[in-house]
Structure 1
Amino acid sequence: MTKHQKRLSAPDSWPVERKEETFTVKADAGPHGESGVPLLIVLRDVLGYVDSRKEARYALDGGSVLVNGDANVSEDRPVGMFDILAFTERDEYYRVFPSEGGRLSLTPIDADAAASRLGKVVGKRQVGDGEFQYTLHDGTTLVTDGGYGGNDSLVIDNETKEIVAHFPYEEGALVTAVDGAHAGEIGEIEEIRVTPGSGDNGVAVAQDEDGFETVEEYVVVIDENFTDGGDGE
């Protein structure tokens, strides 16, 4: 199987120039599905910390680059929405955040904020007496007896992997759009419009001046600290 991905056909979320070269690196199978951006692209093309795969591998082998608190990662490991990147030797920390057009960007955060990450609940099923398995947007699964609902957001401690905060999906909640025409915009849910049958539910989001409408799938509940590099708790 080829290790290369044509730039022109790369997912829209990837922060790569489409016409500079024909190919770029291909992500391994893993978190975030096809939208996951290979860590090598972040290190080389976005941050400019390395010039080659060899340099990236050397930096990762040194254990000073962490993804969601984990040091043993491959340069092809996919990173995506709300992942936490920590560069311990540089004392630099970033949250992967959607920007305008749905392209992923890096938001600088402080060390306290880098201790946890946010996940949107996209699946829920009962697995035992009072216990449920929750699937998050990046493929992570958690088993807990917590009463969380679909589209809620959970904050996961990167060291203990435990849930440390919960943001319900409800009217009045602060959200960011992560896809569609309003990707990267932030506002409060004004109304959740339930569509009968198999159609997508709609969401009206209020902002200071206007607002926007999108589908439920495209919004994620956040906390105000996510907009300024705070800890999200």
Structure 2
Amino acid sequence: MTKHQKRLSVPKSWPVERKTNTFTVKADAGPHGEEGVPLVILLRDVLGYVDSKKEARYALNQGTVLVNGKAVSDEQRPIGMFDIVAFTERDEYYRVFPDEGGRLALSPIAADAADSKLGKIVDKQQVTGGETQISLHDGQNLQLADASEYSTKDSLVIDNETNEIVAHFPYEEGALVTAVKGSHAGEVGEISEIQVTMGSGNNTVVVDQDDGSFETIENYVVVIDENFTGDDE
């Protein structure tokens, strides 16, 4: 299996220039699936903290770069939507948030906001023992004795240290959302209408903004609150 990734074929969410070189770094297996961006790309291409994979590996071995509260030593570890990246030695904290156009960007946040991360519920099912397993967009699973108040498409805020749910944002009309895919990726507004499509077609939502509204596919939006727009520092 090749260790390289052609720039022209990377997901649109990756923050890389596609026509400068033929290849870029390939992400290792891990969270976020194919959408995950190798950590070295954020360190090198976005922040400019390193010039090479070797420098990235050395920096990570110092134990001062955390992803969702845990030290990371793999420079190809996939990073994705709503992950928290902390540089404790620099006292810098970022949330991975989609910008306009759908590329993943690093939004500065306060240190106390780095203790938890947002996750969208993508699956919910009963498991052996009677508990309910909730699966989040980044592959994290939670098992709960009572998950009756949570539904797919809702969002949860998870404490990075304890994995406990510290906030719950239901998917419903009136909810604040951000579009993470499609032509409106990166835009934020409130759901004014959920339009259910009969048959196999995609449900859509109408999202109101201060200067108008837009319509997009239901699965393209994630429920957030005002602390997750990238403007909370």
Bin of the TM-score, shorter chain as denominator length: over 0.9
Write the distance in 2 (CA, Å) between the matches of 1:210 and 1:131. Answer: 43
Which residue type is aligned with residue 207 of structure 1? Q
Deviates more, 1:64-73 or 1:106-115: 64-73
SS in structure 2 of the partner of residue 93 of structure 1: strand
Q: Which residue of 2 aligns with 1:160?
A: 162
Q: Which residue of 2 aligns with 1:194?
A: 196
For 1:47-58, list aligned pairs within 5 A. Answer: 47-58=47-58
| 8 A contact 1:39–1:77 mirrored in 2 | yes
CA RMSD of aligned residues (A): 1.3
Give the C-alpha shift of residue 195 in structure 1: 1.4
For 1:16-35, list aligned pairs within 5 A. Answer: 16-35=16-35
- In structure 2, relative to structure 1, the CA distance for the partners of 1:70 and 1:93 (3 Å cut) is same
Write the distance in 1 (CA, Å) between the matches of 2:140 and 2:213. Answer: 32
Give the C-alpha shift of residue 130 in structure 1: 5.4
Q: Which residue of 1 aligns with 2:127?
A: 127
Q: Which residue of 2 aligns with 1:60?
A: 60
Write the distance in 1 (CA, Å) between the matches of 2:130 and 2:155. Answer: 20
| 8 A contact 1:67–1:84 mirrored in 2 | yes
Q: Which residue of 2 aligns with 1:74?
A: 74
The total of aligned residue pairs comes to 231
Percent identity, please: 74
Residue 208 of structure 2 is aligned with which of 203, 206, 209? Answer: 206
Q: Does 1:39 align with 2:51?
A: no
Q: Which residue of 1 aligns with 2:85?
A: 85
Which residue type is aligned with residue 161 of structure 1? N
Write the distance in 1 (CA, Å) between the matches of 2:129 and 2:218. Answer: 30
TM score, norm. by length of structure 1: 0.96
Q: Which residue of 1 aligns with 2:97?
A: 97
Q: Which residue of 2 aligns with 1:220?
A: 222
| 8 A contact 1:113–1:229 mirrored in 2 | no
**Deviation sequence 1:189-223 (CA, Å, 0-9, x none):** 00111112222111010111211000111000001
Q: Does 1:149 align with 2:151?
A: yes
Write the distance in 2 (CA, Å) between the matches of 1:72 and 1:98. Answer: 22
Write the distance in 2 (CA, Å) between the matches of 1:207 and 1:130. Answer: 42
**Deviation sequence 1:106-153 (CA, Å, 0-9, x none):** 100000111100000011101256521111111111111232001000
Which residue type is aligned with residue 136 of structure 1? L
**Unmatched runs of 5 consecutive residues or more in structure 2:** none
| 8 A contact 2:97–2:230 mirrored in 1 | no
**Unmatched runs of 5 consecutive residues or more in structure 1:** none
Q: Which residue of 2 aligns with 1:179?
A: 181
| 8 A contact 2:178–2:186 mirrored in 1 | yes
